[in-house]
Amino acid sequence: MFTALDKHMQLSTQLLVFDVLLILTILTTWLFRKRQIRCVHETGGAMLYGLILGLILKYTDRQWNKEAGHVHGCASLNHTPPSLAANITVDNDRHKHVGNQMTFAPEVFINLFLPPIIFQGAYSLNQRNFFQNFGSVLTFAFLGTVISCAVIGASMYGFVKLMVLLGQARDGDFHLTDCFFFGALISATDPVTVLATFTELRVDPDLYILLFGESVLNDAMAIVLTYAISTYSQSGGHQTFNASAFFLSIGHFIAVFIGSLSIGFSFTIVTALISFLPYLFWAHLTKFTRLSEFPLLETGLFFLLSWSAFLSAEACGLTGIVAVLFCGITQARYTFHNLSAEAKTRTKQLFEFLNFLGENFIFCYMGLALFTFPNHVFKGIFISGAFLSIFLARACNIYPLSYLLNLVRRDKIPPNIQHMMMFSGLRGAVAFALAMRDTCTVARQTILSTTLLLVLFTVWVLGSGTSPMLACLGIRVGVDPDEDKVGHASDQTAGKGTSERAASAPDAETQASHKPGVWHNLDKIYLRPALTHSGPPLTSTLPLWCEPLGKLLTSPQTYKNRERLNDAEADCSSVKLDTAGEGAREGDAEIVTHQDDLLEGDLGLGCSADPVWEE
């Protein structure tokens, strides 16, 4: 048996191995970036190193297991004695499969590595472009994920029936819910390789935000779908339709999603307005800026409260990914602007680093698990069907929804953008974490093995082809999203696009006067003044009977900014915090155009007008 010291040395060795793999990944990334090699992203390199290590462990284990498994016969016994005493020492740990020892519990990935990855994706969203295309992003992320799950689930059920007919599976090994569970988890796209190339090449902003926004939001949607499908399965719906189980799963889906979203937004409110009681007693913390005197504490508080959103949702039986996702979006929109300049920089760098480390660690582990996971089940028909199904589902997602969106968008989604979105449906960390969570049955083991192969293929083949595909489709690169006010993706397919947009500038000014919608008013009049230093004081917008609450929630800086805010209202349709943040004077009102907001009749479908004023 291993002693405590032996186990400690074993764990240290495992961590050292992963540490070396990550060091090699970083050095390889540095070399590739220096030489401007874009054929392989760092996540692909991390997976390659994991594969090499897994192959080495698998080969060396064969030698060890061969020695450990040798059985000596009792040839000297001429007859069977009435009893036989044997001294058996259980020493399996010394001959255990080395790959088994280098495994982590699924909860490690779910609770430690995924939250920073999801939060960073939401926290780093370009708020202006995101809300400008809000409706389109939601359509692809939510409706598109449901379509993808349904198409993959139905297709895989057909392939499972074919496996039973050909004798590759027994009837009952795969349930209908297993197929839809696989459809839900594999619908979680993670185009980290593509987005890294997009960032480096500065591609068309509409393409970037549509793909980035979809990948961020559909992770949450895929996770909630897997929860709902598991609920349906546990309620008695396996092979046949069960109406009560179906409606129960729908109710569970809605409850989990809304509950998780509410927890995420609640922690944003807590983070931004944690100064409620402290302001009454010792007057410091986030919104009232006294904590900015200690940026390290400010950053630590911001990080821990954001992570608490995830843990609180999980502790309540909800999904922490949805909570931390919406927490990240709202933290970036509100709390970020209450931080000091140093804390803003630190939080950005902190989550960017954690995202980088988490992504590479998970991809490295995926490469290792492809050879070292002891219960792999590779079924040719299931794997082939999965490859066909994900491309079919991606096509049923992107092209029909793009057609419907183009009916209401002013700036259409052109065919080349649609083709690129179709090509960019990579799979990654979220799909692997969901597949790894349950490997108790043959079906779930097959799902994990197939998911690993899909991630490997999409990252290496599709991810490596991003740059050539951009050139082949003629998509704009080298675009500054903050200065790109004339060029749009639709201009790629029409030579007169620029002149048409220039001629339509008066129309844009007319559209800028749209009557603000409900969300716009709620955000501008109540949320921003309550959660930041921007906007009209709550004492002037809340009813008289709420005046004490308005005084409590309105910071002194808001009153100081009131005169400048009134001047700004004469020039633009809304007031928002400056996303640059660091260079602005503390307490000043920051002004941008209404592109950040959802206007009545717009729904963020890419129809927002261009700016019509100068600061």
In a domain, 511, yes or no: yes
For 189, phi then psi, to 5°, come to -80, 150
pLDDT score recorded for residue 335? 85
Q: Which of 243-257, 261-275, 426-440, 600-614 has the lowest mean pLDDT?
A: 600-614
pLDDT score recorded for residue 394? 94
The verdict on 504 and 367 lying in the same domain is no
The predicted model gives 588-600 an average pLDDT of 39
In a domain, 581, yes or no: no
The predicted model gives 452-481 an average pLDDT of 85
What is d(CA 279, CA 327) in angstroms, rounded to the nearest whole number?
23
Alpha-carbon Rg for the chain in angstroms: 27
pLDDT score recorded for residue 239? 60
**C-alpha to C-alpha distances, 187 to 108, 377, 451, nearest whole angstrom:** 22, 21, 11
Q: What percent of the chain has pLDDT over 70?
A: 67
The verdict on 198 and 318 lying in the same domain is yes
Q: Which of 394-408, 561-575, 578-592 has the lowest mean pLDDT?
A: 578-592
Instruction: Look at residue 140 and tell me whether its pLDDT is greater than 90.
Output: yes
pLDDT score recorded for residue 183? 94
**pLDDT category, 236, cuts 50, 70, 90?**
low
The verdict on 291 and 372 lying in the same domain is yes
What is d(CA 360, CA 372) in angstroms, rounded to the nearest whole number?
18
Instruction: Look at residue 96 and tell me whether its pLDDT is greater than 80.
Output: no
Of 408, 441, 473, the position where a domain reaches its end is 473
pLDDT score recorded for residue 506? 39
Of 449, 473, 497, the position where a domain reaches its end is 473
More confident residue, 22 or 576: 22
Highest mean pLDDT among 73-87, 407-421, 516-530: 407-421
Region for residue 274 given its phi and psi (left: phi exceeds 0; alpha: psi -120 to 50; beta: otherwise):
alpha
Give, for 493, the enclosing helix (H) or strand (E). none
* Residue in 160, 162, 118 with CA at minimum distance from that of residue 447: 160
Instruction: Give 530-548 as a 3 state SS string.
Output: HHCCCCCCHHHHCCHHHHH
- What is the largest distance, in Å, between two alpha-carbon atoms of the chain? 106
pLDDT score recorded for residue 8? 81
Q: Is the pTM of this model over 0.85?
A: no
CATH code, domain with 169: 1.20.1530.20
In a domain, 315, yes or no: yes
pLDDT tens profile 271-323: 887 644 344 443 444 444 466 677 888 888 889 999 999 999 999 988 888 89
* Mean per-residue pLDDT of the chain: 75
Q: Which residues 6+ apart lie within 8 Å of 370 measured at CB? A: 50, 51, 54, 452, 453, 456
The verdict on 173 and 277 lying in the same domain is yes
pLDDT score recorded for residue 94? 41
**pLDDT category, 517, cuts 50, 70, 90?**
low
The verdict on 385 and 504 lying in the same domain is no
* Residue in 605, 474, 470, 591 with CA at minimum distance from that of residue 535: 591
Q: What letter does residue 47 receive in the DSSP assignment?
A: H
Q: Give the DSSP per-residue string, 431-458.
A: HHHHHHT---SHHHHHHHHHHHHHHHHI
What is d(CA 203, CA 228) in angstroms, rounded to the nearest whole number?
36
pLDDT score recorded for residue 601? 39
Q: Say if residue 220 is exposed, middle or buried (CB neighbours under 10 Å; 0-12, 13-18, 19+).
A: buried
In a domain, 451, yes or no: yes
What's CA 176's distance to the chain center, in Å? 27
What is d(CA 270, CA 305) in angstroms, rounded to the nearest whole number?
8
Q: How many domains is the chain built from?
A: 2
More confident residue, 240 or 141: 141
The verdict on 275 and 397 lying in the same domain is yes
Kindly state the tokens that stand for 373: 């996971």
pLDDT tens profile 357-415: 888 888 888 888 888 888 888 999 999 999 999 999 999 999 999 999 999 988 889 99
In a domain, 346, yes or no: yes
| Residues of the domain holding 500 | 480-515
In a domain, 551, yes or no: no
What is d(CA 339, CA 561) in angstroms, rounded to the nearest whole number?
17
Kindly state the tokens that stand for 363: 């991809």
The verdict on 506 and 404 lying in the same domain is no
The verdict on 128 and 54 lying in the same domain is yes
The verdict on 302 and 319 lying in the same domain is yes
Find residue 516's DSSP bridge partners.
Answer: 599
Measured torsion, CA atoms of residues 600, 603, 607, 611, in degrees rounded to the nearest 10: 60
**pLDDT category, 609, cuts 50, 70, 90?**
very low
The predicted model gives 404-431 an average pLDDT of 90
Q: Which of 60-69, 159-168, 435-444 has the lowest mean pLDDT?
A: 60-69
What is d(CA 97, CA 60) in angstroms, rounded to the nearest whole number?
10
Q: Give the DSSP per-residue string, 243-267.
A: HHHHHHHHHHHHHHHHHHHHHHHHH
The predicted model gives 191-195 an average pLDDT of 74
Q: Which of 32-46, 89-103, 112-126 has the lowest mean pLDDT?
A: 89-103
